Amino acid sequence: MSIEQTIETMARQARQASRGLVRLSVAAKNRVLERMAVSLRERGEYIRAENQKDLAAGRDKGLSAAMLDRLELSPRVMQAMIDGLLEVAALADPVGEISRLVRRPSGILVGRMRVPLGVICMIYESRPNVTVDAAALCLKAGNSVILRGGSEAIHSNLALAAVLRETLVAEGIDAAAIQVVPVVDREAINALLRLEEHIDLVIPRGGEGLIRFVAENSRIPVLKHYKGVCHVFVDRDADPAMAKNIVMNAKVQRPGVCNALETLLVHREAAPVILPLVGGALTAAGVEIRGCPATRAILPDCVAAGEDDWGREFLDLILAVRVVDDLDAAMEHIARYGSLHTESIVTSNYGNAQRFLREVDASSVMVNASTRFSDGGQFGLGAEIGISTTKLHAYGPMGLEELTTRKFIVYGEGQIRE
Amino acid sequence: MSIEQTIETMARQARQASRGLVRLSVAAKNRVLERMAVSLRERGEYIRAENQKDLAAGRDKGLSAAMLDRLELSPRVMQAMIDGLLEVAALADPVGEISRLVRRPSGILVGRMRVPLGVICMIYESRPNVTVDAAALCLKAGNSVILRGGSEAIHSNLALAAVLRETLVAEGIDAAAIQVVPVVDREAINALLRLEEHIDLVIPRGGEGLIRFVAENSRIPVLKHYKGVCHVFVDRDADPAMAKNIVMNAKVQRPGVCNALETLLVHREAAPVILPLVGGALTAAGVEIRGCPATRAILPDCVAAGEDDWGREFLDLILAVRVVDDLDAAMEHIARYGSLHTESIVTSNYGNAQRFLREVDASSVMVNASTRFSDGGQFGLGAEIGISTTKLHAYGPMGLEELTTRKFIVYGEGQIRE
C-alpha cells in the first residue's frame, strides 16, 4: 500500500471505531483508563526497551542532551503517564450533557447535547508521553485518535500505543480507537491533513515550523497556538509591591514556557517608582532588560530595545520594557504585538480593570494576577490537551470539553412544520 | 494597487474597526441597526436603481428567470431586509456574558467572557439581501464583516453597503466595520482566504462548488455545509398516522431546501403497513418514489432506486425509500450516506429514541418531528446566519452566539504562581 492508502485506511478505521466509543458508558471508559494505567506499569520493561532503541538512534544522530532528555521515558515520566491516566479517569465525562432544553412555540422540545467530535489527529514532536496523555483525553471524550509523533520517538510511541491497544481489545473495544502512524515520512502528515471526511480536528503541538506547516496545509480544522508573547501592563494606580511580585513571577519562575512574561508595559506616571523597584529585582535575578528610551532614562544600565524586541518570544531571562502614555497606548501595543495568548493588567482602578478585561483580545485576560496562571490545571479544566489562540471552538487552554461539540436534539410528539 | 493589496488593506481596516465595535454599548448597536432600517427605506430609490443595473446586465448575460428573481430587490425583499434589521436589534446581545466564574485554590477567580470573533468574511452568491442580513448579525455580535457577494449583484451589494456605511459614519462608527469587496475577480476570494492574520472566520453560502472552493483554499477557519441529505427512519413501533404526517411534511412542504427529506428508511416489520399508507399519500402529492427491492415488493409501481440514489440531495419531489432490518441498520445507513445535517426517527419505543438521539452523528437529531424544523428561527436562535455541518465551534443552525467566542478572564488580587 502507498503511504496515502495506509493513512486513509487508518482514518476510516478510526471513524468506524468512534461509532463504538459513543456507545460506551462512563464506567466503561473509566475502567479502560484504569486498566491502561495497570498495563503501563506491568509492561514497563518492554516500553523502556523500545525507548532505548530511540535513545540509541538519537545519540547516533547527535541529538542534543536536551532533546535526548525529552525523549527519555524515565521512571519519573512513566509514573507521570500512569498518574495522568488515573487523573483523566477521575475527571467528569462531558459527553451526553443536555443543556438549554426549551419548548418552542411549535411544541417541540429543542436542546443541545454534548457529543464527541469523532476522530482527532494529534501531530507532535519529541516527547513520547504525549502519546499516552492525548490518547487518554481523546478516549474519555469519546473520540478516536490518530497520533503522529516525532520520527525520533517512533519505537517509544508504537510501544506505548501497543500497550494501550491491548487494553482496548481486552475490554472489547475496537483497537482502531487509538492508532500511531507507523510511517515517519513527512508525506504521512500531508496525507492526514487531506482527510477532512474522516478526521474532525487536528491539534499540532511543537515548534512554530511544524505548526505553520500543519495550519497551511490542512483542510481539516486546526486548533493551535504558535507562541506566547505575554504582556503585563502596570497601570498608574498599581500597587508597586504587587506589580513587582507579578512581574517577577511571570518572568522568572519558568521563563521557557509560553505563559511567561515577554514584555512589560509601564504607565508613564508610574514609571519613576515602578521601574527602579522592578528593574532592581529583575537584574538581581539575572534578567536582561531591553528598554525603550523612556525606560533607559530611568534605568540607564539596560540595553536599548530594538523594534524586533516588541512581540518577541524570548523564552529566556530577557524582558522587553516599554513606557506607555496610558491604558489606551498599552492596549494599542498589545493589539499590535500580542499573540492572543495571555495579557495582564496590574491596577487598582476599577474602570481600567473592566476596560482591559473587555477590550483586550487574547485567549486569557487577567487583572492583578501572574500570566503564569494561564494553564488548564490552574483554570480548573483538569488535564490540558493544548492551548488555542484560534478563536473558533476553543480559545485558551483546552481540556476534555474542548474535545467535544454540541448537536441540536429535538423531542417531538409528531409535530410538523406549518 | 493590486487586488491582493486592495483586499489586505480592507482586512486591516476591518480589524482596526473591530476594536471600536467591542467598545460599543448594546444600546448604541441597537440604535445603529434601527437607523439602518430607516435609511434603507429612505434610500430605497437609489438602491432600486442600482439593482436595476444588475438586473439589466443579468438579462444581457442571459441569466435564467429564477436567477433574476433571486437578484431582484423587490419591495417585498426590501421590506424583509428592513424587518430583519429591526429583528436583529431586538435580539439579546450575547457579548459580555460571563459564565462559570469560580474561585480556584490559588485564590484567583476564573471565568469565561463571551466576546466578538473580530472579523468575519461572508462569501455568497446571488441574493443581495444577504448583504444586509449578514452585516446586521455581524454588527450586533460586535464583528467587522467583509462581504463578497456574486459578481452579478455587485451594484446592488455596493449600494446596500453604502447606505449601511453612511449610518455607521453618522453614528461615529468606523465605516470599515462593513465592507463589500468591490472586485468581482475570483482572485479576490483567493486573496481573502490567505489573510488568517486579519480574518477570524469565513462563512461561504451558495452552491457546493463555491463552498468546496472556499474550504479547500482557506487558511482561515470555515463554517459551512455542503448539502442536506436528511433521513427519516420509521421504526417498528411507529404510529402510522404520525409517520405519514412527518414524512409528508418533511418531503412535500418545501422540497427545495436543505432540511427537506431525501431518503425514507422503514423498519422491515413496519413496512407492510407504513409503505402503502405513506406511498399512497406521496404519490397523490406528485412525489416520485425510488425504492429498494423490498420497497418495490410492496409498492410495485415505484421506480427502482440505484446505488447513487442513497445519499443524494434531490431538492425536488423525489424520495428514495429503503426497507431496513432494524435500528442498527438504519443508523448504519445514515452513518454511510448522511450529510451530518438533520436526521429523525419516528418511534414509540423509549430505548430506540434515546439510542438514536445519542448515537446518530448529525448537527440536528430528532424524535417524532419533521426535519423541516431544523432552522435557526424554529430552534429559537433568532435570525440565522447559516448552518454548520463542520463540528468545530458550531454544529447546526448558527445564530448570533455562533458569531462570538469565549475568552478566559481572571480576577486576581496579586496572586502569583507557586
State pLDDT tens for residues A333-366: 999 999 999 999 999 999 999 999 999 999 999 9
Helix (H, G, I), strand (E, B) or coil at B361: coil
| Global ipTM | 0.96
> Nearest by CB to B23, which of A359, A373, A391?
A359
Compute the distance between CA of residue A31 and CA of residue A402 in angstroms, rounded to an integer: 22
Compute the distance between CA of residue A96 and CA of residue A250 in angstroms, rounded to an integer: 38
Tell whether B203 and B175 lie within a shared domain: yes
Residues of chain A neighbouring B278 (CB-CB closer than 8 A): none
CB contact under 8 A, B369 and A118: no
CB contact under 8 A, B372 and A417: yes
CB contact under 8 A, B391 and A363: no
B63 assigned to some structural domain: yes
Nearest Cα of chain A lies from the Cα of B208 at a distance, in angstroms, of 15
- Domain, as residue range, for B73: 3-99+117-224+397-405
Contact A344, A249 (CB under 8 A): no
Q: What is the pLDDT of residues A197-228, one digit of tens each?
A: 999 999 999 989 999 999 999 999 999 999 99
pLDDT classification of B217: cutoffs 50, 70, 90: very high
Residues of chain B neighbouring A362 (CB-CB closer than 8 A): 407
The CATH code of the domain that includes B209 is: 3.40.605.10
Is residue A417 scored above 90 in pLDDT? yes
Strands (E), B206-284: 230-234, 261-267
- The average pLDDT across B371-379 equals 97
Tell whether A24 and A111 lie within a shared domain: yes
Cβ neighbourhood burial of B277 (10 Å; 0-12, 13-18, 19+): middle
- The average pLDDT across B56-73 equals 96
Residue from B343, B349, B374, B415 whose CB has the most chain A CBs within 10 Å, to mutate: B415
Residues of chain B neighbouring A396 (CB-CB closer than 8 A): 407-408
Please name which of A31, A22, A112, A95 lies closest in space to residue A402, comparing C-alpha atoms.
A95
Grid coordinates standing for A296? 533607559
Of A194, A224, A254, which marks where a domain is finished?
A: A224
Chain B residue with CA closest to A379: the answer is: B110
Give Cα separations from A323 to A229, A291, A332, B96, B298 (angstroms): 17, 8, 13, 30, 83
Contact A232, A344 (CB under 8 A): yes
Tell whether B335 and B364 lie within a shared domain: yes
Is residue A27 scored above 80 in pLDDT? yes
The CATH code of the domain that includes B277 is: 3.40.309.10
> Nearest by CB to B249, which of A23, A200, A417?
A417
pLDDT classification of B1: cutoffs 50, 70, 90: confident
Is residue A94 scored above 90 in pLDDT? yes
Q: What is the pLDDT of residues A124-161, one digit of tens each?
A: 997 999 999 999 999 999 999 999 999 999 999 999 99
Number of domains in chain A: 2
CB contact under 8 A, B359 and A23: yes
Tell whether B236 and B372 lie within a shared domain: yes
Average pLDDT, chain B: 97
Compute the distance between CA of residue A215 and CA of residue A213 in angstroms, rounded to an integer: 6
Tell whether B197 and B240 lie within a shared domain: no
A257 assigned to some structural domain: yes
Direct distance between the N- and C-terminal alpha carbons of chain B, in angstroms, rounded to an integer:
54
Contact A263, A319 (CB under 8 A): yes
Tell whether A160 and A277 lie within a shared domain: no
Residues of chain A neighbouring B239 (CB-CB closer than 8 A): 414
Residue B14 corresponds to which amino acid? A
pLDDT classification of A1: cutoffs 50, 70, 90: confident
Tell whether A117 and A142 lie within a shared domain: yes
pLDDT classification of B10: cutoffs 50, 70, 90: very high
B390 assigned to some structural domain: no
Contact A187, A3 (CB under 8 A): yes
Tell whether A154 and A256 lie within a shared domain: no
Residues in CB range of B416: below 8 A, 6 or more apart: A245, A246, A248, A249, A250, A253, A369, A370, A372
Is residue B126 scored above 90 in pLDDT? no
pLDDT at residue B15, rounded to an integer: 97
> Nearest by CB to A414, which of B113, B245, B253?
B245
Cβ neighbourhood burial of A288 (10 Å; 0-12, 13-18, 19+): middle
Contact A379, A96 (CB under 8 A): no
Chain A residue with CA closest to B378: the answer is: A104
Q: How far is CA B345 from the centre of its chain?
A: 23
Compute the distance between CA of residue A281 and CA of residue A186 in angstroms, rounded to an integer: 46
Phi, psi of A51 (to 5 degrees): -60, -35
Residues of chain A neighbouring B404 (CB-CB closer than 8 A): none
The β-bridge partners of A130 are: none
Of A169, A195, A224, which marks where a domain is finished?
A: A224
Grid coordinates standing for A123? 501531530
A385 assigned to some structural domain: no
Tell whether B219 and B244 lie within a shared domain: no
pLDDT at residue A126, rounded to an integer: 75
Tell whether A188 and A247 lie within a shared domain: no
Sign of the alpha-carbon dihedral angle for B98, B102, B107, B110: negative
Residue from B110, B143, B217 whose CB has the most chain A CBs within 10 Å, to mutate: B110
B72 assigned to some structural domain: yes
Grid coordinates standing for A116? 464527541
A395 assigned to some structural domain: no
Compute the distance between CA of residue A117 and CA of residue A138 in angstroms, rounded to an integer: 9
B24 assigned to some structural domain: yes
B235 assigned to some structural domain: yes
- The average pLDDT across B273-296 equals 98
pLDDT at residue B261, rounded to an integer: 98
Number of neighbours of residue B16 by Cβ within 10 angstroms: 16
Cβ neighbourhood burial of A386 (10 Å; 0-12, 13-18, 19+): buried
Helix (H, G, I), strand (E, B) or coil at B99: strand
Chain B residue with CA closest to A336: the answer is: B16
Number of neighbours of residue A227 by Cβ within 10 angstroms: 18
HEC string of chain A? CCHHHHHHHHHHHHHHHHHHHCCCCHHHHHHHHHHHHHHHHHCHHHHHHHHHHHHHHHHHCCCCHHHHHHHCCCHHHHHHHHHHHHHHHHCCCCCCCEEEEEECCCCCEEEEEEEECCEEEEEECCCCHHHHHHHHHHHHCCCEEEEECCHHHHHHHHHHHHHHHHHHHHCCCCHHHEEECCCCCCHHHHHHHCCCCCCCEEEEECCHHHHHHHHHHCCCCECCCCCCCEEEEECCCCCHHHHHHHHHHHHHCCCCCCCCEEEEEEECCCHHHHHHHHHHHHHHCCCEEEECHHHHHHCCCCEECCHHHCCCCCCCCEEEEEEECCHHHHHHHHHHHCCCCEEEEECCCHHHHHHHHHHCCCCEEEEEECHHHCCHHHHCCCCCCEEECCCCCCCEEECCHHHEEEEEEEEEEEECCC
> Nearest by CB to B415, which of A108, A118, A370?
A370
- The average pLDDT across B95-124 equals 98
Compute the distance between CA of residue B320 and CA of residue A22 in angstroms, rounded to an integer: 28
pLDDT at residue B254, rounded to an integer: 97
Of A224, A246, A270, which marks where a domain is finished?
A: A224
Share of chain B above pLDDT 90, in %: 97
CB contact under 8 A, A373 and B415: yes
Tell whether A80 and A220 lie within a shared domain: yes
- The average pLDDT across A231-240 equals 98
Tell whether A278 and A206 lie within a shared domain: no
Compute the distance between CA of residue B373 and CA of residue A117 in angstroms, rounded to an integer: 24
Is residue B260 scored above 90 in pLDDT? yes
